Structure 1
Protein backbone atom coordinates (compact mmCIF):
# COMPACT_ATOMS: atom_id res chain seq x y z
CA UNK A 1 0.00 0.00 0.00
CA UNK A 2 1.32 3.36 -1.02
CA UNK A 3 0.70 6.34 1.25
CA UNK A 4 1.43 9.77 -0.16
CA UNK A 5 1.53 12.94 1.82
CA UNK A 6 -0.78 15.85 1.15
CA UNK A 7 0.42 18.05 -1.68
CA UNK A 8 0.52 21.63 -0.29
CA UNK A 9 0.16 23.21 -3.73
CA UNK A 10 -3.27 21.58 -4.15
CA UNK A 11 -4.44 23.02 -0.83
CA UNK A 12 -3.18 26.50 -1.77
CA UNK A 13 -4.95 26.28 -5.14
CA UNK A 14 -8.23 25.24 -3.53
CA UNK A 15 -7.98 28.03 -0.95
CA UNK A 16 -7.16 30.73 -3.51
CA UNK A 17 -10.01 29.67 -5.83
CA UNK A 18 -12.46 29.83 -2.90
CA UNK A 19 -11.14 33.25 -1.85
CA UNK A 20 -11.62 34.62 -5.39
CA UNK A 21 -15.23 33.43 -5.57
CA UNK A 22 -15.98 35.02 -2.17
CA UNK A 23 -14.48 38.33 -3.35
CA UNK A 24 -16.63 38.30 -6.49
CA UNK A 25 -19.79 37.66 -4.45
CA UNK A 26 -18.86 40.48 -2.06
CA UNK A 27 -18.46 42.92 -4.97
CA UNK A 28 -21.92 42.10 -6.29
CA UNK A 29 -23.66 42.41 -2.93
CA UNK A 30 -22.31 45.88 -2.08
CA UNK A 31 -25.02 47.75 -4.00
CA UNK A 32 -27.45 49.25 -1.48
CA UNK A 33 -30.81 50.70 -2.34
CA UNK A 34 -33.77 52.16 -0.52
CA UNK A 35 -37.44 52.34 -1.40
CA UNK A 36 -40.06 54.41 0.40
CA UNK A 37 -43.53 52.89 0.39
CA UNK A 38 -46.59 54.84 -0.68
CA UNK A 39 -47.69 54.88 2.98
CA UNK A 40 -44.39 56.46 3.96
CA UNK A 41 -44.79 59.08 1.24
CA UNK A 42 -48.29 59.88 2.47
CA UNK A 43 -47.08 60.20 6.05
CA UNK A 44 -44.63 62.91 5.03
CA UNK A 45 -47.53 65.32 4.56
CA UNK A 46 -48.39 65.24 8.28
CA UNK A 47 -46.77 67.51 10.81
CA UNK A 48 -45.47 66.44 14.20
CA UNK A 49 -48.51 67.77 16.05
CA UNK A 50 -50.89 65.55 14.00
CA UNK A 51 -52.31 68.37 11.91
CA UNK A 52 -52.66 67.78 8.20
CA UNK A 53 -50.48 70.15 6.21
CA UNK A 54 -51.14 70.84 2.55
CA UNK A 55 -48.04 72.74 1.47
CA UNK A 56 -49.15 73.32 -2.12
CA UNK A 57 -52.41 74.90 -1.02
CA UNK A 58 -50.67 77.08 1.55
CA UNK A 59 -48.07 78.22 -1.00
CA UNK A 60 -50.77 79.11 -3.54
CA UNK A 61 -52.65 81.11 -0.90
CA UNK A 62 -49.54 83.10 -0.01
CA UNK A 63 -48.70 83.66 -3.69
CA UNK A 64 -52.20 85.03 -4.31
CA UNK A 65 -51.98 87.30 -1.26
CA UNK A 66 -48.63 88.66 -2.46
CA UNK A 67 -50.00 89.21 -5.97
CA UNK A 68 -53.04 91.04 -4.58
CA UNK A 69 -50.93 93.09 -2.16
CA UNK A 70 -52.78 91.72 0.87
CA UNK A 71 -49.93 89.65 2.32
CA UNK A 72 -48.61 91.15 5.52
CA UNK A 73 -46.86 89.76 8.56
CA UNK A 74 -45.74 91.37 11.80
CA UNK A 75 -41.98 91.83 11.39
CA UNK A 76 -41.40 91.68 15.17
CA UNK A 77 -43.21 88.35 15.38
CA UNK A 78 -41.19 86.98 12.45
CA UNK A 79 -37.93 88.14 14.07
CA UNK A 80 -38.94 86.61 17.41
CA UNK A 81 -39.70 83.24 15.78
CA UNK A 82 -36.37 83.30 13.93
CA UNK A 83 -34.52 83.94 17.19
CA UNK A 84 -36.46 81.13 18.91
CA UNK A 85 -35.41 78.71 16.18
CA UNK A 86 -31.78 79.82 16.37
CA UNK A 87 -31.72 79.44 20.15
CA UNK A 88 -33.62 76.17 20.04
CA UNK A 89 -36.45 77.39 22.25
CA UNK A 90 -39.25 76.23 19.98
Structure 2
Protein backbone atom coordinates (compact mmCIF):
# COMPACT_ATOMS: atom_id res chain seq x y z
CA UNK A 1 0.00 0.00 0.00
CA UNK A 2 1.33 3.39 -1.01
CA UNK A 3 0.50 6.53 0.98
CA UNK A 4 1.23 9.87 -0.62
CA UNK A 5 2.11 12.78 1.57
CA UNK A 6 0.61 16.24 1.28
CA UNK A 7 2.62 18.31 -1.13
CA UNK A 8 3.38 21.95 -0.45
CA UNK A 9 1.51 23.02 -3.58
CA UNK A 10 -1.71 21.50 -2.18
CA UNK A 11 -1.28 23.47 1.02
CA UNK A 12 -0.67 26.70 -0.88
CA UNK A 13 -3.73 26.08 -3.06
CA UNK A 14 -5.93 25.47 0.00
CA UNK A 15 -4.58 28.61 1.63
CA UNK A 16 -5.27 30.72 -1.48
CA UNK A 17 -8.84 29.39 -1.81
CA UNK A 18 -9.52 30.10 1.84
CA UNK A 19 -8.01 33.59 1.57
CA UNK A 20 -10.21 34.43 -1.45
CA UNK A 21 -13.31 33.37 0.48
CA UNK A 22 -12.35 35.56 3.43
CA UNK A 23 -11.59 38.51 1.12
CA UNK A 24 -14.99 38.14 -0.58
CA UNK A 25 -16.75 38.22 2.79
CA UNK A 26 -14.85 41.34 3.84
CA UNK A 27 -15.58 43.09 0.53
CA UNK A 28 -19.28 42.32 0.88
CA UNK A 29 -19.36 44.01 4.30
CA UNK A 30 -17.82 47.29 3.10
CA UNK A 31 -20.21 50.02 2.03
CA UNK A 32 -19.46 53.23 0.19
CA UNK A 33 -20.24 56.42 2.03
CA UNK A 34 -20.02 60.13 1.45
CA UNK A 35 -20.01 63.06 3.82
CA UNK A 36 -21.14 66.49 2.68
CA UNK A 37 -19.93 69.48 4.65
CA UNK A 38 -22.30 71.99 6.20
CA UNK A 39 -21.23 74.56 3.61
CA UNK A 40 -21.95 72.13 0.79
CA UNK A 41 -25.41 71.43 2.18
CA UNK A 42 -26.14 75.15 2.43
CA UNK A 43 -24.92 75.81 -1.09
CA UNK A 44 -26.99 72.97 -2.52
CA UNK A 45 -30.19 74.68 -1.41
CA UNK A 46 -29.27 77.74 -3.46
CA UNK A 47 -28.37 75.78 -6.57
CA UNK A 48 -31.40 73.50 -6.52
CA UNK A 49 -34.10 75.93 -5.47
CA UNK A 50 -35.58 78.13 -8.20
CA UNK A 51 -36.83 80.75 -5.76
CA UNK A 52 -33.27 82.10 -5.44
CA UNK A 53 -32.82 82.45 -9.19
CA UNK A 54 -35.36 84.50 -11.10
CA UNK A 55 -34.45 84.71 -14.77
CA UNK A 56 -37.96 85.09 -16.14
CA UNK A 57 -37.52 88.78 -17.05
CA UNK A 58 -34.18 88.16 -18.74
CA UNK A 59 -35.56 85.17 -20.66
CA UNK A 60 -38.59 87.17 -21.82
CA UNK A 61 -36.34 90.02 -22.95
CA UNK A 62 -34.11 87.65 -24.94
CA UNK A 63 -37.11 85.91 -26.53
CA UNK A 64 -38.54 89.27 -27.58
CA UNK A 65 -35.21 90.34 -29.12
CA UNK A 66 -34.93 87.05 -31.03
CA UNK A 67 -38.50 87.35 -32.35
CA UNK A 68 -37.93 90.97 -33.41
CA UNK A 69 -34.59 90.18 -35.01
CA UNK A 70 -32.76 92.64 -32.76
CA UNK A 71 -30.72 90.07 -30.82
CA UNK A 72 -27.04 90.63 -31.57
CA UNK A 73 -24.76 88.40 -29.50
CA UNK A 74 -21.16 89.54 -29.01
CA UNK A 75 -19.18 86.91 -30.92
CA UNK A 76 -15.89 88.00 -29.35
CA UNK A 77 -17.29 87.50 -25.86
CA UNK A 78 -18.69 84.09 -26.83
CA UNK A 79 -15.32 83.00 -28.25
CA UNK A 80 -13.49 84.18 -25.12
CA UNK A 81 -15.84 82.19 -22.87
CA UNK A 82 -15.45 79.11 -25.07
CA UNK A 83 -11.65 79.34 -24.91
CA UNK A 84 -11.79 79.87 -21.16
CA UNK A 85 -13.93 76.73 -20.79
CA UNK A 86 -11.53 74.69 -22.92
CA UNK A 87 -8.52 75.86 -20.90
CA UNK A 88 -10.27 75.05 -17.61
CA UNK A 89 -11.23 71.59 -18.87
CA UNK A 90 -7.65 70.87 -19.94
CA UNK A 91 -6.23 72.05 -16.61
CA UNK A 92 -8.62 69.75 -14.72
CA UNK A 93 -7.47 66.74 -16.74
CA UNK A 94 -3.81 67.37 -15.93
TM-score (norm: length of structure 2): 0.43
TM-score (norm: length of structure 1): 0.44
